[in-house]
Structure 1
Amino acid sequence: MRVTMRIDGAAAAADIDRPGESLLTTLRDRLGMTGSKNACEQGECGSCTVLLDGDPVCSCLVATAQCEGREVKTVVGAVPRPVRDAFVSCGAVQCGFCTPGLLVSVADLLDREAAPSDSQIREALAGNLCRCTGYEKIIDAVHVAAEAMGDMR
C-alpha cells in the first residue's frame, strides 16, 4: 500500500506492508527520518511526538494509512530555531532521547500561546516524560524561547 503525505513541507510517499504500520516506523525505517525517537511504542513517553495537521500526536499510535493526504511535521520541520537554542542555553537537554518530542510540544504551545505560564507549560508537556533533567530547566527554556520568539514577532 502506498501512502502519500507532506512531511516537513515536502511531498513524501511510503510503501507500507500493512495498514496498521505506525507513522513512527514509517518515518524512521522507511523514510530514514530519525528525528522522532522510538521509546515506549505505547504513547506513554512522548518521545515520538509529531504534528499531524497541526495537532501533536504520538506517532507510535498513528497508523501510517491514516496519514494519506495529510501534513506531518517532525522535529525538523516544526521547531523554530529559538526553541532549539533555548533548550541548549538553559541546559534542558541531557541524554536527548525525550528532546524531539519536547521540542515539538513546545513549538506547538508557543504557536498557540505567546507567553505561557508555568501551569500552561506543564499542561502542554504532560505527555512528555524526561528522566534526566527534571523539568525546571525545560520550563526555563520555554520561557526563554517565548521571549526570543516574541522579539521576532
Structure 2
Amino acid sequence: MKKILTIVFCLLLVACGKQKGDSALQTFVNTKLVKQKGTLRLSDFKEVKWDKLYVLGPYTNEKMYDARLATNKKAIIDSGVLTDDGVCYLMFFDGNNLVTSAVFERRFVDFSYLTRFSHNMKIEPYDKDKAIFPFEKRNKLQYVIFQL
C-alpha cells in the first residue's frame, strides 16, 4: 500500500506541477519525502557527483548571485524562480560546474525556508555533507523543508 501511495504521490507532483529539470532529482526528493520520517537527506543524492547545493527561493534577484550563480544566469532565468513566487529552484554544483538542477512547486514541496544569505546578502550554498534538512507534512499534498 505504501509503495502505491509513493507512486501516486510522485505521479501527482509531476503531472500537476511546474517541475522542470532533472527528473531523477525530482523523483529522489518526492520518494524520500514519502518514505522517510522527518528528515530529507539530499546528501544521499548520488545520481551525479556534486559538492554544493544552492536553494533559490521566491524573490531571488541578480544582486543575490555569487560568482558561481552569476555564471549560470540563463539556467536561473529559465527556471522561473525570478518571476514566480510559487517555485523554488535547487542547483547542484561540482566545483563551479552546474551538474543538475530542478524546479519544485512550493504548493507540493516548499524549499523556500532553505535559502540562506551571506553577510553581504549573496545566496550561500550548502556543502554536500550539510544537505540534511528536517521537514514536515503540512497537508495531504504539501511538504515544507526547514534548516536545522
Question: TM-score, normalized by length of structure 1?
Answer: 0.27
Structure with a larger share of its residues in helix: 1
In terms of Rg, which structure is larger? Answer: 1
